[in-house]
Amino acid sequence: MSLRRRLLRRLLAENPFQPATSWWRSIELAVVVEHGLPAGNGLDLGCGDGKLMRILLDAARASPALAGIDIDPQETRDAATSGVYRRVHTAPGAAIPEPDASFDFAFSNSVLEHIDELDPVMAEVARVLRPGGRFVFTVPGDGFHGCLAGPLLPWVDRSRYLAAIDRRCAHRRYWGEAEWRACLARNGMELAHAVPYLSAAEVRRWETLSRFTAGILYGLAGGRLQPIEIQRALRVRRRRLRLPEWLTAPLAAMLGAGARTDAAGRFGCLLIEARRRA
């Protein structure tokens, strides 16, 4: 069984109410594992409830010493009891309550695209990294919009459709390698690697799944609630729902059936590795 399929099964088991996100994350986490998660003392920026990091560590067979930070107290409450982190902070990324040069690496999975004022966060990450420390993060890239199929109805304006996707996903930016290189340089870091992932076909698979799951719920909520708020309103996030393995196996096979890369080399996301300058 491929790494991606194993991850998809695990993600579906842990988050049965998020099939589209599980599809995206299974590809994303496989790329992180293949790239290599740094060792040592690490910071998980935007740690959420800790589930994703547990799945990543199990897949990578890694056991770094981790601190987690997230702005959402409901998420950090669960992260603090997850057994993943030595300590968890409820704080914004622009005010990390840790000493200077205290981490060998920082990691952030699909978080930075949601932050309005990014430079203060990047400067703070650089502050808590030791010289030469690594910052590995994943984000939607400048090809994301181009990979989307667009509205089902031909008379629906594509630009309005894309704006609606951005609002639902709370995406603030779609930067390419050049923009990330400049931002990192402004804040004491250097871009070392930029790895594209999530092909156009895989983005469209996510688009279809989300259109008929989170997209419907978002529309029913009048576009006023983010997906995590809808999950909380429906009380599915706190019920510890978990699918059995006999059900996740065929579900993962169905979601992944016919998945392929894009012949034109189009990708929707980037994994970035940066190093703090000495």
pTM of the model: 0.91
pLDDT exceeds cutoff 60 at 88: yes
Instruction: Evaluate if residue 157 carries a pLDDT over 70.
Output: yes
What is the widest separation between alpha-carbon atoms in the chain? 55
Are 117 and 94 in contact by the 8 Å Cβ rule? The answer is yes
Burial of 139 (0-12, 13-18, 19+ CB in 10 A): buried
pLDDT tens figures, 130-142: 999 999 999 999 9
Backbone angles phi, psi at 161, to 5 degrees: -60, -45
Closest CA to 176 of 127, 211, 141: 141
Share above pLDDT 90 across residues of the chain, in percent, rounded to a whole number: 75
CA–CA distance, 33 with 271 (Å, rounded to integer): 11
Asked if pLDDT for residue 171 goes beyond 90, the answer is yes
The residue with greater pLDDT, 247 or 223, is: 247
**CA gap 67, 78 in Å, rounded:** 14
Does the structure show a pLDDT above 90 at 71?
Answer: yes
CATH of 3-276, one of 3.40.50.150, 3.40.250.10, 3.50.50.60, 3.40.50.1220: 3.40.50.150
Which of 254, 192, 271, 252 shows the shortest CA–CA distance to 5? 252
Structure tokens at 183: 């931002």
Residue range 183-239, pLDDT digits in tens:
999 999 999 999 999 999 999 999 999 987 765 555 655 666 666 665 655 566 555
> In this predicted structure, what is the pLDDT of residue 77?
95
Torsional sign, CA 227, 229, 231, 237: positive
